[in-house]
Amino acid sequence: MSFGQGGPQWGSGGSGSQPPQWSSQSPDWAALAEASETRNRRRRWMLVGGGALATIAVGAAVAVAVVSADGKEQASNKPASELPASADIPSDTAGTGPSFEATSAPPPLDPKDFISDVKKDTATLAPDILFPGTQLTMGETVYKKGALASTKNCASAAQGTLGPVLTKNDCTRLMRVTYSKDGVAVTVGVAVFDNEAKALRAKTDADKQSVVQSLTGEGVPVFCRSAICRSTTNSYGRYAYFTVAGFTNGKDVTEKDAKVFTTGDDLAEFTFRQIRRRGEAQASAAANG
C-alpha cells in the first residue's frame, strides 16, 4: 500500500526482500492536503456519532426518571407470578364524599280541596265573613254594601227556575248580599252544597230563567223583580254563585248598558276570590298545624 510519493514501498518478497527506496522528487502537496481532509472528515463523523449516542443515553435516563417519579414505587423486575392480583388493587383511590338520605318536601296542600267537600270545609261561614266591611273597591270603583241575608230554604230566595234547581241538587244554604253605585245595584247569591259535584250539577242545570232574587234594603229599593236585568251563574268548589244586576229605578237593561255589565262582573269576580281565599286560609292552617 502506498501512502503517497516519498513513502516506503513494500514489494511482494516480504519485509526484508528489498531495501527501501527513497525518491528524490518534491512532495505532492495536493495529495497530502486531500489525505489530511479525509482524515478530518472521519474524525468529525466519529464525533457526531458519539454525540448522538450520548443524546440517546441522556434521553433514556430522563425517561426512566419520569417513569419512576410518576409511580409510587420503582419499576420492578419481578415475574408476573409475583405481582399482586387484580383483586388486591383498589379500583378507585378517590375519596368518597359524605352521603345523605334523599329527602323531598311534601306536596303543597291544594286550597280547592278544602272548599270542595263539607268534611274539609269546616271554617265558620256567614254572609258577613264572606262579604266583610261596608264597601267594596274593585280597581278605581267603590261599591256600597247594602243588606245581607242567609237562609237554609234555598228555593225561597230564588226566582224563575232557580228554586227547583237548588232543591234538586240538595242546596243546604243560600247567602245573599247587595252592592250599589250610581243607580245600579247587584245582588250576589252563594248557594252551598255538600260537595263539588252537586254544585257543578246545579250550575249545569241552571238556564236563562234561573235567577237569584234581588235583596233590597239598606238604602237600596226594590229592583229586578219585573224589569229585564242581567244575570250570571258560576261555581267553584262546593259553592255555586249567581248575580242579578239592574237599575234601581226599574229601567230595563240592554246590551248597551256597560255599567250594569261591569257591576255584575266585578261582584262575580269578588265572590270567586272570596271563596278561593277561604280555601287558601284553611290549607295554610292545616299545613302549619
130: nearest Cα among 176, 173, 171, 185? 176
pLDDT at 138: 94
What CA–CA distances, in Å, run from 220 to 173, 189, 215, 245, 269?
23, 16, 8, 12, 22
pTM exceeding the 0.85 threshold for the entire prediction = no
Which CB contacts under 8 angstroms, 24+ apart, belong to 2-7? 3/35, 4/28, 4/31, 4/32, 4/35, 5/31
Asked whether residue 145 carries a pLDDT value surpassing 60, the answer given is yes
pLDDT at 75: 40
Asked whether residue 202 carries a pLDDT value surpassing 70, the answer given is yes
Pick 1 or 162 by higher pLDDT.
Answer: 162
210 three-class SS = strand
pLDDT at 126: 97
Percentage of the chain exceeding pLDDT 90: 61
Task: Cite the DSSP H helix spans in the chain.
Answer: 29-70, 111-114, 127-130, 162-168, 196-205, 258-288
Per-residue pLDDT tens for 69-109? 344 444 444 454 555 555 555 555 555 555 555 556 666 78
135 three-class SS = strand
Report the CATH architecture of 113-276: 3-Layer(aba) Sandwich (3.40)
| Residue written as grid cell 226566582 | 159
pLDDT at 86: 52
Domain boundaries defined on the chain: 113-276
237: nearest Cα among 277, 286, 189, 185? 277
Q: What angle do CA 134, 274, 228 make, to 5 degrees?
A: 75
Q: Which of the residue ranges 62-71, 90-99, 120-129 would you say has the lowest mean pLDDT? A: 62-71
206 touches 234 (CB < 8 A): no
Mean pLDDT of 110-129: 96
Positive or negative: CA dihedral 205, 257, 267, 150: negative
d(C-alpha 94, C-alpha 64), whole Å: 27
